[in-house]
Amino acid sequence: MIPPLVLLYHGISRTEHPSVLNARSFEQQILFLKRHCTFIRPEELGNAHGSVRRPVLLTFDDGFRDNAEIVVPILRRHAVPGLFFVASRHCNPGQYLWFSYLRMLERWFTGKGVTLNGNYIPLDGPNRREGIQELTSRLLALEPHPRAMYAAIRGQLPSVDSFQPADGAADEFAGMTVEQIQEIGNDPLFTIGAHTVDHPYLTRCDPEEAECQILENKLWLERITGKTCDFFAYPIGDFGGTTITLCIRAGFKKAFSVVRKSESHPQFAVRRIGVYSPSLLPLAAKLFCGNWFPSRLIQALRASKSPVDLAPEAGSQWSQDACPEKLKMPKKDLRHDNRRSETSTLP
Ligand SMILES: [Zn+2]
């Protein structure tokens, strides 16, 4: 029996560049998956085991607007179910998730540097990447997380309005509108899941804050869609024993991670495989790996008609950008030494 595979997507780019996962390459992936697997809904995950075709559940994290404007029409066209995990903050006009703010700053800010709590961080020329990394470390180290981080962005760092291009390019970083969430939630093909209010590292939050992040987001989504929100995805794949307890208490049926970390609560650590490349080759490897013989993989690739099928993996900038769950904590950890880490208390 072939076990199900849960794929994790984030944003889909609006650009036409061949190295990015955009509408064209995403639709090719859907067609490829349609040929080789069976799409399932989240509630089928527990009992779905294919005898020939692999059951696949598609999930989309964060709730970027392009999910509603690019992904949803493609999935509808092919009658493919999807589970969308939506963070609340960036669904308010002019508000962005913290990593979106940092990406916009890196891409568009033209000043020489910024000052955070008296520390000047140069962002000009060759210092830019390193400066953004230092700023990220310092922001994530602020306590209480994530409120102090958002307060610092709002109170001490340049506003998005002051550096974003006039052509509305920042829309790429915007979340879905309430109407879009409502429309997706009302479509029987799709499911809306929770992803916290502010997309924090949940194990860095105090338990009260973590509970607030999870519950507020869940209740908000339920109010908008008029449906019970049964599924949750851990932002940045970060969770611990306390986080699982909070999710169970909030009434979720399943929680999705990136890497499985809980043997005792498998329903609250459903493993997913991220898709970041426009190429079909890594997707095929993820789909077939460990279940089908390599010859089946080669046959499937040869049977594919499109030249993009066999293109090398791009490893594009967008692939990195579109992937907050791939963010690694900076090496230089500026947390207070006495900060408790929940990760060490995993069941
Ligand atoms: Zn996320």
Average pLDDT estimate for 81-85: 98
Query: Domain range for residue 13?
Result: 5-92+174-326
| 233 Cα–ligand 1 center, Å | 8
| 40 Cα–ligand 1 center, Å | 22
| 235 Cα–ligand 1 center, Å | 4
Residue 128 has pLDDT above 90, yes or no: yes
**Buried/exposed 71-83: b ≥16 CB within 10 Å, e otherwise:** bbebbeeeebbbb
Whether residue 184 sits in one domain with residue 103: no
Query: 170, 201, 220: which is the final residue of a domain?
Result: 170
| Residue 59 DSSP one-character state | E
Residue 156 has pLDDT above 80, yes or no: yes
Query: 122, 155, 170: which is the final residue of a domain?
Result: 170
| 64 Cα–ligand 1 center, Å | 10
Confidence of residue 117 (pLDDT cuts 50, 70, 90): very high
| 30 Cα–ligand 1 center, Å | 21
| 146 Cα–ligand 1 center, Å | 14
Q: What is the pLDDT of residues 204-231, one digit of tens each?
A: 999 999 999 999 999 999 999 999 999 9
| 58 Cα–ligand 1 center, Å | 15
| 173 Cα–ligand 1 center, Å | 13
C-alpha–C-alpha distance, residues 36 and 53, integer Å: 6
Whether residue 278 sits in one domain with residue 193: yes
Whether residue 231 sits in one domain with residue 314: yes
C-alpha–C-alpha distance, residues 9 and 246, integer Å: 25
| 272 Cα–ligand 1 center, Å | 13
| 307 Cα–ligand 1 center, Å | 31
**What is the CA angle 279-22-282, rounded to 5?**
20
pLDDT value at residue 21: 93
C-alpha–C-alpha distance, residues 318 and 276, integer Å: 8
| 87 Cα–ligand 1 center, Å | 8
Whether residue 179 sits in one domain with residue 164: no
What phi and psi, each to the nearest 5 degrees, are found at residue 5?
-120, 135
C-alpha–C-alpha distance, residues 58 and 190, integer Å: 10
Residue 305 has pLDDT above 50, yes or no: no
C-alpha–C-alpha distance, residues 270 and 189, integer Å: 21
309: CATH: 3.20.20.370
Comparing 72 with 344, the larger pLDDT belongs to 72
| 238 Cα–ligand 1 center, Å | 10
Whether residue 142 sits in one domain with residue 71: no
| 75 Cα–ligand 1 center, Å | 20
What percentage of residues in the chain have a pLDDT greater than 90? 68
pLDDT value at residue 19: 86
Whether residue 53 sits in one domain with residue 160: no
| 195 Cα–ligand 1 center, Å | 7
| 51 Cα–ligand 1 center, Å | 32
C-alpha–C-alpha distance, residues 204 and 195, integer Å: 16
Comparing CA positions, the residue from 287, 259, 233 lying closest to residue 5 is 287
| 325 Cα–ligand 1 center, Å | 6
Query: Among 2-11, 74-83, 192-201, which is the least confidently predicted range?
Result: 2-11
